[in-house]
């Protein structure tokens, strides 16, 4: 990300309709422009009083396989792809109005949200974007699963991810390092889709989850590759893990400047790193 920039919002309202993976319920997402310094917030239009849920790591609660936010009794689930689309396209101030707690899965990527944002356009605002600049290294996790933050020169946001599904499956090991920019995000990360092994999908179905999702809605791998689907990138899985990191990092409420390295990290560790940077002494907050 360019370290020296102003805040941005949408030119007009944009909508995306879809179905929630977990609930199977129809949901409409409406992105609305917001004033400088407003940040990102979700608004539950289906609840009395239209409660607002700030997109901040302080409002994150732990749930398996997805990022969930709560404010009072109101929650929003599976927000990581929406947050990734907004952060990846450098939309800093936006109200996200929804009529269900779970966000639409679409095709398992962030592309539908990016397309909707681009169709209405993005406008620069007369206010500087806040940064958190990593000044010293921090590491969280264990030998089997970890995430690190390091200083990086040039005001860049660099993400390196090592994916390791072991042997005996079609996902295997994949690695990728990227320097974030809106164009790179749109072309090379936003189209990458949610993925899982066939045995993981079978276990979720047995729990009564994901009953309406099909192999057209995400990548489900057997020993030969994705079932009934084709990869958009040879390393699509690791690209999606980086997409998830972009969405989780957006819960900092500002641009994170540094080099971030993850090995088998997921939403929980991503959020813990954000908390460590926001609350600890590993970064210095300043304006561009």
Residue pLDDT, tens place only, 94-137: 999 999 999 999 999 999 999 999 999 999 999 999 999 999 99
d(CA 23, CA 48): 21
Query: How far apart are alpha carbons 29 and 27 in whole angstroms?
Result: 7
Which residue, 62, 104, 97, is CA-closest to 79?
A: 104
Q: Which of 71-85, 198-212, 264-278 has the lowest average pLDDT?
A: 198-212
Residue 122 burial (CB < 10 Å; 0-12/13-18/19+)? middle
What is residue 214's predicted lDDT score, i.e. its pLDDT? 78
**Catalytic: 267?**
yes
Range with the lowest mean pLDDT among 12-16, 64-68, 214-218?
214-218
Among 81, 160, 240, 267, the one annotated catalytic? 267
What confidence score (pLDDT) does residue 282 get? 44
pLDDT band, residue 3 (cuts 50/70/90): low
Q: Work out the mean pLDDT of the chain and round it to a whole number.
A: 92
pLDDT higher than 90, residue 285: no
84 pLDDT higher than 80: yes
In this predicted structure, what is the pLDDT of residue 106?
A: 94
pLDDT tens profile 158-213: 999 999 998 888 999 999 999 999 999 999 999 999 998 988 888 877 776 667 77
pTM, rounded to two decimals: 0.93
DSSP secondary structure of the chain: --SS-EEEEESS-EEEEEE-TTT--EEEEEEEE--TT--EEEEETTSTT--EEE-SGGGEEEETTEEEEEETTEEEES-HHHHHHHHHTT--BEEEEESSSBPP-TTSSSHHHHHHHHHH-EEEEEEEPEEEEE-S-EEEE-SSSEEEEE--GGG-EEEEEEEE--SSSSS-EEEEEEE--HHHIIIIITT---EEEHHHHHHHHHTT-STT--TTTSEEEETTEETT---SSTTHHHHHHHHHHHHHHGGGSSEEEEEEEEES--HHHHHHHHHHHHHSSSEEEEE-
User: In terms of C-beta distances under 8 Å and separation of at least 24 residues, what long-range contacts does 139-144 make, across chains too?
Assistant: 140/269, 140/272, 140/273, 140/276, 141/263, 141/265, 141/269, 144/264
């Amino acid at each position: 990300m360019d370290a020296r920039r102003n805040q941005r919002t949408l030119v007009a309202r944009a909508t995306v309709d879809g179905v929630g993976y977990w609930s199977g319920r129809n949901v409409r997402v409406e992105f609305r422009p917001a004033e400088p310094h407003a940040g990102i917030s979700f608004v539950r239009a289906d609840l009395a009083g239209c409660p607002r849920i700030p997109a901040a790591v302080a409002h994150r609660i732990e749930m398996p396989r997805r990022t969930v936010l709560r404010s009072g009794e109101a929650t929003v689930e599976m927000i990581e792809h929406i947050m990734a689309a907004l952060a990846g396209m450098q939309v800093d101030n936006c109200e996200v109005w929804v009529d269900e707690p779970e966000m639409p899965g679409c095709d398992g990527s962030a592309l539908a949200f990016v397309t909707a944002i681009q169709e209405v356009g993005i406008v620069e605002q007369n206010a500087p974007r806040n940064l958190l600049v990593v000044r010293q290294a921090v590491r969280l996790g264990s030998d089997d699963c970890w995430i690190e933050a390091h200083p990086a020169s040039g005001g860049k946001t660099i993400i390196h991810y090592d994916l390791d599904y072991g042997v005996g499956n079609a996902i295997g090991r994949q690695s990728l390092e990227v320097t974030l920019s809106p164009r790179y995000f749109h072309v090379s990360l936003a189209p990458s889709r949610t993925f899982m092994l066939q045995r993981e999908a079978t276990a979720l179905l047995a729990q009564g989850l994901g009953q309406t999702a099909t192999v057209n809605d995400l990548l489900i791998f057997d020993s030969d590759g994705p079932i009934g689907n084709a990869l958009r990138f040879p390393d699509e899985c690791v690209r999606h893990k980086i997409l998830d990191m972009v969405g989780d990092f957006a819960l900092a409420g500002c641009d994170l400047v540094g080099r971030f390295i993850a090995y088998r990290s997921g939403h929980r560790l991503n959020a813990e790193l954000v908390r460590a940077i926001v609350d600890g002494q590993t970064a210095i907050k300043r304006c561009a």
